[in-house]
């Protein structure tokens, strides 16, 4: 059976295995930023997957900022500025998100079915031709704009969300709530200058600073469930972590 004729779950499992193996190889080979990875035919052969599956893996690594692909040159390791992610308990992350969302009002809802931008395609581990539902919303607190967020939901899951969910549930609980099999979450925080839609929806001038947070959630076989891009006004939000080392009374790192 050809790789692309396999059931979706089996393809996802093979892709997840190849992703984990390639990440381990990058760590074990002590590659430095700027080092070139082997070509696609060699990598696909070493990992035992098709080139289509390998490209999904590379898209995912690129979306996570681990590699960059240069047209006509190949795939290179990026300078991430640190040796790996900080690992947080998923339940803690979801709990912290619920705390942040308490007391917020949602306005400015805009929903469109779109072709996913390349970073979203990689983050959600989509198959070629899959569409996504783009949900843009403002967060309000005390009558003031607090944040602007854009959620990308795979087309296969979009109908789980009602208009009431979009208007009242910032976290989109029907996708990542307690009754849904979300097994892994990835969060990346950064800072950038507000531009275009982000500046307009936050009531800022172009170039004003914003805090950005990107979150991706995955099910038990590694398929993307939700990718969210959040932008916070720097004058109305700060991000803090309260972490305890395991063994000092708590077994879980809180964020």
Residues of the chain with CATH 1.10.10.10: 3-77
pLDDT band (50, 70, 90) for residue 93: low
Q: Which fold has domain 90-233?
A: Chorismate lyase (3.40.1410)
Residue range 136-160, pLDDT digits in tens: 999 888 888 888 999 999 999 999 9
Contact 218, 183 (CB under 8 A): yes
Tell which wins on pLDDT, 198 or 34. Answer: 198
Inform me whether the pLDDT recorded for 25 exceeds 50: yes
pLDDT at 98: 54
pTM greater than 0.75 (yes/no): no
| Ramachandran area for residue 56 (φ above 0: left; ψ -120 to 50: alpha; else beta) | alpha
The 3-class SS string of the chain reads CCHHHCCHHHHHHHHHHHHHHHHHHHHHCCCCCCCECCCHHHHHHHHCCCHHHHHHHHHHHHHCCCEEEECCCEEEECCCCCCCCCCCCHHHHHHHHHHHHCCCEEEEEEEEEECCCHHHHHHCCCCCCCCEEEEEEEEEECCEEEEEEEEEEECCCHHHCCHHHHHHCCCCHHHHCCCCCEEEEEEEEEEEECCHHHHHHHCCCCCCEEEEEEEEEEECCCCEEEEEEEEEECCCCCCCCCCCCCCCCCCCCCC
pLDDT at 132: 96
Paired with 152 in beta bridges are 134, 227
Inform me whether the pLDDT recorded for 198 exceeds 90: yes
For range 118-128, the mean pLDDT: 90
pLDDT band (50, 70, 90) for residue 72: confident
Q: What is the mean pLDDT of the chain?
A: 79
pLDDT at 63: 78
**CA neighbor of 136 nearest in space, from 181, 180, 200:** 200
Tell which wins on pLDDT, 252 or 38. Answer: 38
Tell me what percent of the residues of the chain surpass a pLDDT of 90.
24
CA dihedral 100, 83, 68, 195 (to 10 degrees): 30
pLDDT at 152: 96
Inform me whether the pLDDT recorded for 251 exceeds 70: no
CA dihedral 144, 214, 161, 7 (to 10 degrees): 180
CA dihedral 52, 216, 226, 143 (to 10 degrees): -150
Entry field: residues in the chain = 255
For range 84-91, the mean pLDDT: 48
Residue range 3-77 in CATH 3.30.70.590 = no
Residues of the chain with CATH 3.40.1410.10: 90-233
Inform me whether the pLDDT recorded for 176 exceeds 70: yes
């Amino acid at each position: 059976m050809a790789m692309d004729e396999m059931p979706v779950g089996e393809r996802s499992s093979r892709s997840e295995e190849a992703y984990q193996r390639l990440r381990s190889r990058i760590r074990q080979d002590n590659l430095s930023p700027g080092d070139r990875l082997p070509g696609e035919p060699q990598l696909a052969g070493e990992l035992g997957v098709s080139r289509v599956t390998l490209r999904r893996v590379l898209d995912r690594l690129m979306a996570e900022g681990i590699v960059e692909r240069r047209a006509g040159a190949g795939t290179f390791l990026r300078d991430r500025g640190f040796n790996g992610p900080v690992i947080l308990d998923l339940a803690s992350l979801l709990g912290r998100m619920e705390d942040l969302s308490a007391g917020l009002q949602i306005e400015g809802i805009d929903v469109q079915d779109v072709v996913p931008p390349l970073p979203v395609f990689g983050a959600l581990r989509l198959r070629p031709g899959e569409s996504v539902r783009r949900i843009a919303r403002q967060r309000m607190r005390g009558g003031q704009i607090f944040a602007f967020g854009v959620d990308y939901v795979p087309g296969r899951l979009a109908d789980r969300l009602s208009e009431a969910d979009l208007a009242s549930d910032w976290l989109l609980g029907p996708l990542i709530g307690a009754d849904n099999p979300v097994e892994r979450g990835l969060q990346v925080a950064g800072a950038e200058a507000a531009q275009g839609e982000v500046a307009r929806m936050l009531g800022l001038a172009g170039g004003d600073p914003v805090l950005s947070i990107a979150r991706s959630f995955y099910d038990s076989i590694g398929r993307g469930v939700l990718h969210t891009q959040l932008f916070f006004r720097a004058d109305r939000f700060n991000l803090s972590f309260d972490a305890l080392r395991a063994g000092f009374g708590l077994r879980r790192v809180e964020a």
